[in-house]
């Protein structure tokens, strides 16, 4: 089996990293490794369905960069539930489930795609989130540190700081947890 190339990797961000990078005016960082970037339909819905400080910027970015949107059964079912009920169904975890669904299809691709699930919600880091062996989950902080270590950005902390200064409530939780006794 041949060694994977950047063409074999697809980065699929959840809503949180997209919002953080939008606040930091750093969405271009998603393309730094040279991987493909895609969104799932449910996450696109989550980040654009209501007017927020980042929703218009994100919608414009998806369109201007030609970011592909992967269709999922999760989103179809959510839309059908909206049509059938006067009470909106809970969308809790639907973005993550849609990403999981999309990544499960990567196993069947020839050659199999390597999925990188970019997340920010600390609950995901602790959850038993099932992904195929070819897929990985990476926090926003870990991704920024990766970019810094590769020399593609001068400072991961500067990107975080820029997002926070712009008003983003960025998780203080770090993975792995920082130990004070070391």
170, part of any domain? no
CATH number for position 19 = 3.40.50
Residue in this structure with the two tokens 């998806």, named with its chain if needed? 62
pLDDT tier for residue 1 given thresholds of 50, 70 and 90: low
Structure tokens, 147: 């970019």
Single pTM value for the model: 0.87
What are the Cα distances from residue 170, in Å, to 1, 34, 105, 119, 163? 40, 26, 31, 12, 8
- pLDDT mean across residues, the chain: 86
Q: Report the pLDDT averaged over residues 149-169.
A: 94
Considering the domain boundaries, does residue 99 fall inside one?
A: yes
- Is 43 within a domain? yes
Number of structural domains found in the chain: 1
Report yes or no on 174 lying in a domain: no
Residue bearing the bigger pLDDT, 20 or 174:
20
Burial 87-119 (b: 16+ CB within 10 A, else e): eeeebebbbbbbbbbbbeebeeeeebbbbbbbb
Instruction: Give the confidence band of 179 by pLDDT, cuts at 50, 70, 90.
Output: very low
Residue matched to tokens 């699930």: 117
Q: In this structure, what are the phi and psi dihedrals at residue 180, rounded to the nearest 5 degrees?
A: -75, -20
Cα separation, 85 vs 114, whole angstroms: 37
Please tell me the predicted confidence (pLDDT) of residue 162: 95
Assigned domain for 149 exists: yes
* pLDDT tens digits along 16-69: 999 999 999 999 999 999 999 999 999 999 999 989 889 999 999 999 999 999
Domain assignment of residue 125, yes or no: yes
Domain that holds residue 29: 6-165
Say if 171 falls within a structural domain: no
């Amino acid at each position: 089996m041949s060694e994977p190339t950047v063409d074999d990797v697809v980065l699929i961000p959840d809503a949180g990293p997209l919002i953080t990078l939008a606040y930091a005016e750093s969405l271009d960082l998603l393309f730094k490794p040279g991987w493909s970037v895609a969104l799932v339909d449910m996450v696109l819905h989550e980040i654009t369905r209501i007017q927020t400080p980042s929703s218009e910027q994100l919608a414009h970015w998806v369109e201007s960069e030609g970011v592909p949107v992967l269709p999922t059964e999760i989103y179809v079912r959510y839309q059908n539930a909206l049509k059938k009920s006067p009470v909106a169904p809970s969308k809790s975890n639907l973005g993550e489930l849609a990403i999981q669904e999309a990544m499960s299809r990567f196993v069947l691709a020839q050659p199999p795609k390597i999925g990188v699930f970019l997340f920010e919600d600390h609950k995901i880091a602790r959850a038993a989130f099932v992904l195929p062996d070819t897929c990985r989950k990476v926090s926003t902080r870990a991704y920024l540190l990766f970019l810094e270590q590769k020399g593609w950005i001068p400072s991961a902390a500067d990107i975080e700081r820029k997002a926070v200064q712009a008003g983003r409530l960025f998780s203080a939780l770090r993975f792995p947890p920082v130990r004070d006794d070391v």
